[in-house]
Structure 1
Amino acid sequence: MTSADLLLGAMVLGVAIFLARGSHPLLGLLLVVSAVAVSALLFLPTRELGAWIGMGRVHRFHALAGSTPLDPAEWIHLLAFAWLGLLLWLGRADLRNWKGWALLVALGIGAELAQTLTQDREPRLADVVLNLAGGVAGVLLAMLVRRIVRWL
């Protein structure tokens, strides 16, 4: 394990704990686990992810993504940040304002910049755009969910 790996791990844990701070304990745990899982998807090489989740699942995901305009890595960025946006907006009442939007922008950009610490990944502006689009989609979905719950 290199010093860059240790720094990246510390950053991931710090962000995960920050995201969970002030939320319901169960949701906080979900936020921590989700932040670590999203980080693994964004920072670990595909071969390591395949070893953890099984190459069969990786191949099925590639087959699903093959019929869309986005490649699998782009789907991961979009879906991962949609999930984070959804959880943040639902779980952190203090971030249901400009601070939540700013945090999602910082996370989307920061995740790409942090890839400079990895060996097999590199930051791309297109991925930042996908991160931000996913975050916006997640927040909009959370707003819809909250509206439906209030209506019911």
Structure 2
Amino acid sequence: MSRSGTGHRAPGPALGAGTRRVLLVVLGVVALGIGGWAYLTPQAWYESFPGFGLRWLPVLGPHNQHLSSDIGAFYLGFATLTLIAAGRPTDTTLVRVTGAAWLVFNAFHTAYHLRHLDMYSATDNLLNAVSLGAFLLISAALLLPLRRGSTTTR
């Protein structure tokens, strides 16, 4: 039921349950990968993130094992929440809370990195902006309502 009490949702963008699930799985799997890597091998994660021959963290300053491990733990916690939500894509409250939490993180994370692109190459700047922007958009999309009649099977 809408806030107006009429039972009708205002027209506008909405996501189907399958789309919600895919977006949540993408966020959850990426978080699981980053989190496991940072927590289990903090020095290696710091020296070689994001992988593929790129090294985005060493230019930010010296490695701090405690901080790297905490980042890993944070991502593992978010992965847990996100993958639970992926299993319940029609639970609008759970999906929106998950999306809101990711949106807060990704907004601040993206803002920081966009202010500090001067330390990277043009290619790294582009990859930073595209990857961070994509996760910001995915997070925001999870706040959209569930499309009417959208169901999913488990």
What TM-score does the superposition give when structure 2 sets the normalisation length?
A: 0.33
By relative contact order (CA 8 Å, sep 6+), the higher-ranking structure is 2
Which structure has the greater CA radius of gyration?
2
What TM-score does the superposition give when structure 1 sets the normalisation length?
A: 0.33
Query: Which structure has the highest helix share of the two?
Result: 1
